[in-house]
Amino acid sequence: MNDMAKNLILWIVIAAVLLTIFQNFPATGSSDSITYSEFVTEVERDRVKKVTIAPLQITGERRDGSRFKTDRPYGIDDSQLFEELRSQNVVIEGKAPEQQSVWTQLLIASFPILIIIAVFMFFMRQMQGGGGGGKGPMSFGKSKARLLSEDQIKTTFADVAGVDEAKEDVKELVDFLRDPGKYQRLGGKIPRGVLMVGPPGTGKTLLAKAIAGEAKVPFFSISGSDFVEMFVGVGASRVRDMFDQAKKQAPCIIFIDEIDAVGRSRGVGIGGGNDEREQTLNQLLVEMDGFEVNDGIIVIAATNRPDVLDPALQRPGRFDRQVVVSLPDIRGREQILKVHMRKVPCGDDVDAKVIARGTPGFSGADLANLVNEAALFSARLNKRIVSMEEFDRAKDKIMMGAERKTMVMSEKDKEMTAYHEAGHAIVGRLMPEHDPVYKVTIIPRGRALGVTMYLPEEDKVSYSKRYIEGRIASAYGGRIAEELIYGTDSVSTGASNDIQQATGMARSMVTKWGLSELGPIQYEEEEQGYLGSQTRSTHISNTTAREVDEQIKKIINKSYAAATEILNTHRDKLELMKDALMEYETIDAKQIDDIMEGRKPRKPASWDDSNGNGAAPVQDVAEEEAKPAAGSDPSDNIEHEPATGKEIPKES
């Protein structure tokens, strides 16, 4: 029974109840209620003109035109009253007892039954999740997919920027949904499923909504985790119900976000084929390409883990096409920034191209967050527009972490951090093929006491051996600077993360990238272990493992020696940069240029001399606070390239 029939029955019951109540209400008029004794007195005084006698009530009209009524006492003998009425020529009318109609009697008799039926239907609707459905105990097998009609979807391809190649791949889906005969006349079939693959925040969900918005078709949206419940078989039932609903709305689009929650490879969990997730996956495979044809239904799924999906899900006939939604390049980042800047009042000095160049590796979500952070910075200062200064502060916050200005540091720790970061910056500046140094700060950010930030001049798609060796050398620059100034015995633990990064890159050079004397041989690989976990395995002998360790040590010693030579040669610049950091706390590329040319660095544009000599106030000493890793980057040193899965050094 659908909702319309339920509502109709409910209104019929309400109307019947109201009719019964109104029929039992006595007719009301302008009659005066008097007692029976007063009525007799009125008759004796010849004031009554007309009476109507009913079994329980007497109504009448006086000679002056007014009306009255009185209750007739039960069991009284009023025969003499009739004689009195006749003697005074009063018009007498009789009224028979009221007889209820058959329908009224039937309604009154069935009223309790109707109440019971109404209460039963109410509880059944509650158990099924109410009018909207989806949350009651009887709705376990119902799909949780949210239906958006063509009028509700306002997103178009104009709202999607930075993924031009992906948009080209899916435009023919829109063309097919608008005019399917164009393809069917030539025997062509549109892909039944499109798998969108890419890092988080690159716009996979937004692109799927844009497809539905351009095609003007219904859009079912659901997450992969919405299928699986604690009861076995519920997920499969929801898949069936979702496709049944989609058939009624065809042509339409079903979008499954994070499909890896339900589409992981079978056989790696506990319970084998009886696992609830695997049963749900089996039903999804059958619905997408089984005996029953689901024409007009296009399934679009999104994931950032295509490597864990079941092979049967990716074969032709199910997800026929993979659309890679990768991180945007510099032109794509500029387009994305312009889209988000439409909602923000920007100053004349804001240049989206400059911001795009300084945000390599940012996804669409990161850029949206950047614009929002800049707007928040401007709002805190009670500004009416967002200037380039706020965008720079927002970029530094996202890339280097929030400033921890309240953290107390002794003058000695502050000086050691300045030397440490100066060592990173000078080595990074002078190593060949290294990324340019963008900014150096000794203000604590995130988990680091100081940060040296590098920005590539252009987006990189591959990395040379010389570049990686330069990154290893610059990672050791901070530790080497501490050794030169304070001696080997006074070196701090601040370089722990630097050592971890350098060792990881050196090991990858030997075991994965084939950039050592051992040749282009892979000595280490990732495997899918128990319960789908990723494990690293090596299939080498002890002798080869010893050679791998020697090669790693050789690469590190070579880079360490190169960094040491640079800092020994440019000891004066190390001192000059340390002094600049102690005075200004943060220096940028222009000031670094001054230092590398042997000049005293200029003052930062935002520097304030309000405290006399222009130096930042010295913070109090906190002897009990442990010193975190200076110059460290909390992120991992290796990242996966989205398209190929190849491991590459991660940008700072």
Separation of first and last alpha carbons in the chain:
61
Q: 147 vs 381, which has greater pLDDT?
A: 381
Three-state DSSP string of 183-244: HHCCCCCCCCEEEEECCCCCCHHHHHHHHHHHHCCCEEEEEHHHCCCCCCCHHHHHHHHHHH
pLDDT given at position 386: 92
Return mean pLDDT, the chain.
77
CATH topology of domain 140-324: Rossmann fold (3.40.50)
Q: Assign domain 330-400 to a CATH class.
A: mainly alpha
Which residues are bridge partners to 70 per DSSP? 58
Is the peptide bond preceding residue 604 cis, with omega within 30 degrees of 0? no
CA angle 99, 103, 107 (to 5 degrees): 105
463 CB neighbour count, 10 Å cutoff: 15
316: left (phi over 0), alpha (psi -120 to 50) or beta: beta
The pLDDT of residue 72 is 78
Positions of CATH 1.10.8.60 in the chain? 330-400
Q: What is the pLDDT of residue 102?
A: 67
Tokens, residue 450? 């100081």
Rounded Cα gap, residues 287 and 320, in angstroms = 15
Q: In terms of CATH architecture, what is 411-649? A: Up-down Bundle (1.20)
What lies within 8 Å, CB to CB, of 528 at 6+ separation is 265, 268, 308, 534, 535
pLDDT band of residue 470 (cuts 50, 70, 90) is very high
Window from 220-234, 413-427, 489-503 with minimum mean pLDDT: 220-234
The yes-or-no verdict on residue 442 having pLDDT over 90 is: no
Closest CA to 392 of 565, 143, 650, 606: 606
Give the 3-state secondary structure of residue 302.
Answer: strand
pLDDT value, residue 374: 93
**Poorest-pLDDT segment among 43-57, 382-396, 494-508:** 43-57
- Please check the confidence at residue 25 and state whether its pLDDT lies above 80: no
Q: Is the pLDDT of residue 646 over 60?
A: no
- The whole-angstrom separation of Cα 417 and Cα 629 is 10
Higher pLDDT, 463 or 617: 463
pLDDT of 72-109, one tens digit each? 777 677 777 777 777 777 877 777 666 556 666 776 77
β-strand pairing of 193-197 with 297-303: parallel
Residue 627 near residue 493 (C-beta atoms within 8 A): yes
Sequence-distant contacts of 367-374: CB under 8 A, at least 24 apart? 367/333, 367/336, 367/337, 367/340, 368/336, 368/340, 369/398, 370/337, 370/394, 370/395, 370/398, 371/337, 371/340, 371/341, 371/344, 373/397, 373/398, 374/344
List, by residue number, the catalytic residues. Answer: 421
Nearest to 205 by CA among 177, 251, 151, 163: 163
* pLDDT tier, 272 (very low <50, low <70, confident <90, very high otherwise): very low
Average pLDDT over residues 341-347: 90
pLDDT in tens, 314-332: 888 888 888 888 888 888 8
- Reported as type and span, the H/E element at residue 331 is helix 330-341
DSSP secondary structure of 50-72: EEEE-SSEEEEEETTS-EEEEEP
pLDDT per residue over 538-563, tens digit each? 678 889 889 999 999 999 999 999 99
Q: Which residue has the higher pLDDT, 11 or 499?
A: 499
Report whether 205 contacts 257 (CB < 8 A).
yes
For residues 284-300, give the mean pLDDT. Answer: 78
Out of 90-94, 148-152, 278-282, 435-439, the most confident range is 435-439
Spell out the alpha helix ranges (H) of 289-329.
311-314
**If you average pLDDT over residues 26-43, what whole number do you get?**
73
Q: What does the CA dihedral 309, 248, 187, 150 come to, rounded to 10 degrees? A: -80
Burial class (CB in 10 A: 0-12, 13-18, 19+), 278: buried
User: What is the per-residue pLDDT for 480?
Assistant: 93
Strand partners, 439: 453, 588
Q: What is the pTM of this model?
A: 0.64
Q: Name the band, by pLDDT with cuts 50, 70 and 90, for residue 188.
A: confident
Lowest mean pLDDT among 50-54, 105-109, 349-353, 515-519: 105-109
pLDDT of residue 644: 38
| Selected residue with higher pLDDT from 123 and 281 | 281
Match 């967002």 to its residue by tokens: 386
- Percentage of the chain exceeding pLDDT 90: 16
Please state, in angstroms and as integers, the Cα–Cα distance from residue 73 to each residue in 54, 55, 69, 161, 162, following that order.
11, 9, 13, 91, 94
Q: Bigger pLDDT: 570 or 173? A: 570
Q: Say yes or no to pLDDT of 168 above 90.
A: no
Which pLDDT score, from 0 to 100, does residue 401 have? 78
- Please determine, for residue 22, whether its predicted confidence score (pLDDT) is greater than 70: no
Which helix (DSSP H) or strand (DSSP E) does residue 299 occupy?
Answer: strand 297-303
Give me the pLDDT at residue 190, please. Answer: 75
Q: Can you say which residues are annotated as belonging to the binding site? A: 198-205, 420, 424, 498
* pLDDT band at residue 378 using 50, 70 and 90 as cut-offs: very high
Which positions make up the binding site for ATP? 198-205
Question: Mean per-residue pLDDT for 191-213?
Answer: 85
